[in-house]
Structure 1
Amino acid sequence: MEIGIIYKQFHAELLGYVKHKIRSREDAEDILQNVFVKISSNIRTLDEDVKIKNWIFTVTRNAIIDYYRLNANKRKHATSAELTDDIADVEEPDQTKGLDQCMANMIDLLPDEYRDIIVESEIKGIKQKDLAEKYGIAYPSMRSKVQRGRERLKQLFYNCCQIETDKRGNVMDVKGKSGCGESCSPC
């Protein structure tokens, strides 16, 4: 599909959607401009099976999320700078110290079919498309394997560790659960 046709067909609907989420016409138009740049540069990479409208709205939703993240980071940095001026430096102990070793031990407990893929995608940062080529499997299959591996890793943590988080879900402390088998007590 051609970008001009996409623009004519979806511009008004996308602008309304973004304005509803952002509430600033100027910011909404900026976001929409970035969305159409992304659409233009990625439209040729789409599979024929992809539903174009769903894909366009996914790109738009991600752009809105990026907008809020960027603005939250700007506010956070401004607030952080103000607090630094007002508060003396206090060094807090690292509550998650050793969590990296715990994570490595948990990854070792994964079945072979997930272990290498999780290490390469999550620890080494290799893109899933590159892993799909390396292992000779279809990209959607690789995405599914990574998701299943993440889910298994998450279950290992919940089964074997007591995880304390703050309101935002940040890990504050991790302790091994009592009664968890010897092979499953890495924390």
Structure 2
Amino acid sequence: MENILETIHRSFEKELADLVCRKVKHQDYCQDIIQDVYLKILLNRSKIEKADNISAYLTRLTTNTVVDYYRRKSKSSVTNETLPETSSEPDEAVDSTYKLADCCLRSFIDSLPEIYRNAIIMVELDALKIKDYAIAANITLTNAKARVQRARKMLREVILQCCNYEFDSYGNIVSCKKNEDQSCCK
């Protein structure tokens, strides 16, 4: 009889890898996260065997692993900011571009009307699912989706009014220059 781990690997390997790599664009990080997924599968083998829908369980486990990766990454970037600077000049230039890009993100968010501000904070910053936000805000899921979409659009407009951004073909920020006639960034 085939081991549950071998069955999962054989049956879900491509699906899980695709799920991770769609969410994480860097191939090396993608492979690291897939390793973490398989480690969690190994540690949760008994729960997986008891699951009614193994595919759904593995999808949730994989998604949570990706979220954990981004949380660790954001915590390490905060830690790295407090370390003494020992970087070379090109890295400092990139750092200053990112600092300018997010120079006053919180003030931009705070400038939104309250319902949109709460939506963007809960969904984007607190990583709450839109479904959970809808429950917390006591609104329908459709309403929550529309509210978050409007909040994102409003935030984008405010940010683009403040600074001039240059994007690459993938939509990543290449450079950011403060509009001299705007006093939005302090």
TM-score normalised per structure 1: 0.50
* CA deviation after TM superposition for structure 1 residue 168, in Å: 2.6
Aligned to 1:50: none
Q: Deviations over 1:70-93 (max 9, x none)?
A: 897447989xxxxxxxxxx96622
* Cα pair distance change 1:142/1:69, threshold 3 Å: closer
Equivalences, count: 118
* CA deviation after TM superposition for structure 1 residue 118, in Å: 0.5
1:186 correspondence with 2:185: yes
* Cα pair distance change 1:140/1:73, threshold 3 Å: same
Q: Is the 8 A contact 1:96 1:172 kept in 2?
A: no
Distance in 2 (CA, whole Å) between partners of 1:162 and 1:110 is 20
Q: Deviations over 1:13-46 (max 9, x none)?
A: xxxxxxxxxxxxxxxxx78x95xxxxxxxxxxxx
SS of 1:137's equivalent?
coil
* CA deviation after TM superposition for structure 1 residue 164, in Å: 2.2
Amino acid at match of 1:145: R
Match of 1:144 among 115, 138, 146: 146
Amino acid at match of 1:162: N
Distance in 1 (CA, whole Å) between partners of 2:20 and 2:113 is 39
Aligned to 1:59: none
* Structure showing greater Rg: 1
Aligned to 1:134: 136
RMSD over aligned CA atoms reads 3.5
Q: Is the 8 A contact 2:110 2:117 kept in 1?
A: yes
* Cα pair distance change 1:73/1:100, threshold 3 Å: closer
* CA deviation after TM superposition for structure 1 residue 109, in Å: 1.3
Q: Is the 8 A contact 2:21 2:27 kept in 1?
A: no
Distance in 2 (CA, whole Å) between partners of 1:141 and 1:70 is 25
* CA deviation after TM superposition for structure 1 residue 155, in Å: 0.8
Aligned to 2:163: 161
Aligned to 2:112: 110
SS of 2:118's equivalent?
helix
Q: Is the 8 A contact 1:129 1:139 kept in 2?
A: yes
The percent identity for this pair of structures is: 26
Q: Deviations over 1:102-126 (max 9, x none)?
A: 2112111111120111011111111
* CA deviation after TM superposition for structure 1 residue 153, in Å: 0.6
TM-score normalised per structure 2: 0.50
